[in-house]
Amino acid sequence: MISPPLYGPCRSSLAPGELTARVGHLEGVLSGRERSAALETLVRERVTEAMLAGAVEVKRVAGEVNVAIHALGILLALPHVLEPGERIESLSVGAGNIGRSFDLETDRQVAEFKFTAWRGGAEAIHQNGLFVDIFRLEALRNRAAALALLAQDSSRT
Protein backbone atom coordinates (compact mmCIF):
# COMPACT_ATOMS: atom_id res chain seq x y z
CA MET A 1 0.00 0.00 0.00
CA ILE A 2 1.23 3.50 -0.81
CA SER A 3 1.98 5.53 2.27
CA PRO A 4 -0.05 8.81 2.05
CA PRO A 5 2.55 10.94 3.88
CA LEU A 6 5.16 9.92 1.30
CA TYR A 7 2.93 9.90 -1.77
CA GLY A 8 1.13 13.14 -0.93
CA PRO A 9 4.03 15.54 -1.61
CA CYS A 10 4.91 13.66 -4.77
CA ARG A 11 1.33 13.66 -6.03
CA SER A 12 0.56 17.29 -5.27
CA SER A 13 3.70 18.60 -6.94
CA LEU A 14 4.03 16.15 -9.84
CA ALA A 15 0.49 15.50 -11.03
CA PRO A 16 0.03 13.18 -14.03
CA GLY A 17 0.54 14.99 -17.31
CA GLU A 18 2.50 17.79 -15.68
CA LEU A 19 5.75 15.98 -14.89
CA THR A 20 7.63 16.94 -18.04
CA ALA A 21 6.62 20.60 -17.73
CA ARG A 22 7.53 20.63 -14.02
CA VAL A 23 10.96 19.11 -14.66
CA GLY A 24 11.58 21.58 -17.51
CA HIS A 25 10.58 24.46 -15.23
CA LEU A 26 12.97 23.29 -12.48
CA GLU A 27 15.81 22.89 -14.99
CA GLY A 28 15.21 26.44 -16.19
CA VAL A 29 15.00 28.12 -12.78
CA LEU A 30 18.08 26.27 -11.47
CA SER A 31 20.28 26.85 -14.49
CA GLY A 32 23.07 29.32 -13.73
CA ARG A 33 22.38 29.46 -9.97
CA GLU A 34 25.04 29.13 -7.31
CA ARG A 35 24.61 26.72 -4.38
CA SER A 36 22.81 29.07 -1.97
CA ALA A 37 20.44 30.36 -4.64
CA ALA A 38 19.79 26.79 -5.84
CA LEU A 39 18.91 25.69 -2.28
CA GLU A 40 16.54 28.64 -1.88
CA THR A 41 14.91 27.76 -5.18
CA LEU A 42 14.43 24.13 -4.12
CA VAL A 43 12.71 25.28 -0.92
CA ARG A 44 10.54 27.79 -2.79
CA GLU A 45 9.61 25.15 -5.39
CA ARG A 46 8.84 22.64 -2.60
CA VAL A 47 11.30 20.00 -3.83
CA THR A 48 11.77 17.75 -0.80
CA GLU A 49 13.19 14.43 0.30
CA ALA A 50 9.61 13.36 1.09
CA MET A 51 8.78 13.93 -2.59
CA LEU A 52 11.63 11.62 -3.64
CA ALA A 53 10.58 9.00 -1.08
CA GLY A 54 7.00 9.19 -2.38
CA ALA A 55 8.12 8.75 -5.97
CA VAL A 56 10.26 5.75 -5.00
CA GLU A 57 7.27 4.19 -3.23
CA VAL A 58 5.02 4.78 -6.26
CA LYS A 59 7.65 3.15 -8.50
CA ARG A 60 7.85 0.13 -6.20
CA VAL A 61 4.08 -0.36 -6.22
CA ALA A 62 3.79 0.34 -9.96
CA GLY A 63 6.20 -2.52 -10.67
CA GLU A 64 3.64 -4.93 -9.26
CA VAL A 65 1.10 -3.74 -11.84
CA ASN A 66 3.24 -5.23 -14.63
CA VAL A 67 3.18 -8.62 -12.90
CA ALA A 68 -0.62 -8.46 -12.54
CA ILE A 69 -1.14 -7.46 -16.20
CA HIS A 70 1.13 -10.23 -17.46
CA ALA A 71 -0.40 -12.89 -15.22
CA LEU A 72 -4.03 -11.94 -15.88
CA GLY A 73 -3.42 -11.51 -19.60
CA ILE A 74 -1.94 -14.99 -19.95
CA LEU A 75 -4.53 -16.66 -17.73
CA LEU A 76 -7.41 -15.05 -19.64
CA ALA A 77 -5.81 -15.98 -22.98
CA LEU A 78 -5.48 -19.68 -22.15
CA PRO A 79 -9.01 -20.65 -23.27
CA HIS A 80 -8.29 -18.95 -26.62
CA VAL A 81 -4.84 -20.41 -27.31
CA LEU A 82 -5.30 -23.97 -26.03
CA GLU A 83 -6.89 -26.54 -28.28
CA PRO A 84 -9.23 -29.25 -26.95
CA GLY A 85 -7.14 -31.96 -25.29
CA GLU A 86 -3.96 -29.89 -25.27
CA ARG A 87 -1.94 -30.30 -22.06
CA ILE A 88 0.01 -27.52 -20.32
CA GLU A 89 3.57 -28.67 -19.54
CA SER A 90 4.97 -25.39 -18.21
CA LEU A 91 3.41 -22.04 -17.40
CA SER A 92 5.14 -18.81 -16.36
CA VAL A 93 2.54 -16.11 -15.76
CA GLY A 94 4.64 -13.63 -13.77
CA ALA A 95 6.53 -10.94 -15.68
CA GLY A 96 9.85 -12.48 -16.77
CA ASN A 97 10.50 -16.16 -17.35
CA ILE A 98 12.54 -16.97 -14.28
CA GLY A 99 13.78 -20.53 -14.72
CA ARG A 100 11.51 -21.15 -17.69
CA SER A 101 12.21 -20.69 -21.37
CA PHE A 102 8.74 -19.49 -22.40
CA ASP A 103 5.50 -18.17 -20.91
CA LEU A 104 3.54 -21.24 -22.04
CA GLU A 105 4.72 -24.67 -23.11
CA THR A 106 2.23 -27.38 -24.01
CA ASP A 107 2.46 -30.77 -25.65
CA ARG A 108 1.67 -29.00 -28.95
CA GLN A 109 2.98 -25.44 -28.82
CA VAL A 110 5.20 -22.87 -27.17
CA ALA A 111 4.00 -19.29 -26.66
CA GLU A 112 5.28 -15.92 -25.50
CA PHE A 113 2.97 -13.08 -24.48
CA LYS A 114 3.68 -9.33 -24.66
CA PHE A 115 1.53 -6.75 -22.89
CA THR A 116 3.12 -3.46 -23.90
CA ALA A 117 1.45 -0.16 -24.73
CA TRP A 118 3.00 0.47 -28.14
CA ARG A 119 3.04 4.22 -28.73
CA GLY A 120 5.17 4.41 -31.84
CA GLY A 121 8.43 6.27 -32.18
CA ALA A 122 11.61 5.18 -30.47
CA GLU A 123 10.80 1.94 -28.68
CA ALA A 124 14.08 0.11 -29.13
CA ILE A 125 13.86 -1.81 -25.85
CA HIS A 126 10.42 -3.23 -26.69
CA GLN A 127 11.44 -3.92 -30.29
CA ASN A 128 14.65 -5.68 -29.26
CA GLY A 129 12.76 -7.88 -26.79
CA LEU A 130 10.21 -8.73 -29.44
CA PHE A 131 12.96 -9.61 -31.93
CA VAL A 132 14.62 -11.92 -29.40
CA ASP A 133 11.29 -13.66 -28.73
CA ILE A 134 10.61 -14.11 -32.46
CA PHE A 135 14.10 -15.50 -32.99
CA ARG A 136 13.79 -17.96 -30.05
CA LEU A 137 10.35 -19.11 -31.17
CA GLU A 138 11.46 -19.50 -34.79
CA ALA A 139 14.31 -21.76 -33.66
CA LEU A 140 11.80 -24.33 -32.37
CA ARG A 141 11.19 -27.24 -34.67
CA ASN A 142 9.26 -29.80 -32.61
CA ARG A 143 6.22 -27.68 -31.66
CA ALA A 144 4.18 -24.84 -33.06
CA ALA A 145 5.33 -21.40 -31.91
CA ALA A 146 3.07 -18.48 -31.08
CA LEU A 147 3.69 -14.88 -30.08
CA ALA A 148 0.68 -13.10 -28.59
CA LEU A 149 0.63 -9.30 -28.48
CA LEU A 150 -1.89 -7.19 -26.61
CA ALA A 151 -3.94 -5.21 -29.12
CA GLN A 152 -4.58 -1.67 -27.94
CA ASP A 153 -6.49 1.17 -29.54
CA SER A 154 -3.78 3.83 -29.97
CA SER A 155 -6.38 6.59 -30.00
CA ARG A 156 -7.10 5.88 -26.30
CA THR A 157 -3.52 6.38 -25.05
pLDDT tens per residue across span 9-65: 444 555 656 788 888 999 999 999 999 999 999 999 999 999 899 889 888 888 788
Q: What percentage of residues in the chain have a pLDDT greater than 70?
A: 62
CB of 119 closer than 8 Å to CB of 153: no
* C-alpha to C-alpha distance for 73 and 93, rounded to whole angstroms: 8
What's the rounded mean pLDDT across residues 73-91? Answer: 93
Q: Specify the DSSP class assigned to residue 90.
A: E
Which of 47, 43, 65 is CA-nearest to residue 116?
Answer: 65
**Mean pLDDT over the full length of the chain:** 77
Give me the pLDDT at residue 115, please: 77
- Range from 70-74, 98-102, 109-113, 140-144 that averages highest in pLDDT: 70-74
7 vs 125 pLDDT, higher one: 125
Torsion of CA 69, 93, 124, 110, to 10 degrees: -130
Residue 157 has pLDDT above 70, yes or no: no
Tell me the pLDDT tens digit for each residue of 93-106.
Answer: 876 656 667 888 89
Range list of H helices, the chain: 4-13, 19-30, 35-44, 49-81, 124-138
87 vs 155 pLDDT, higher one: 87
Least confident of 44-53, 69-78, 125-134: 125-134
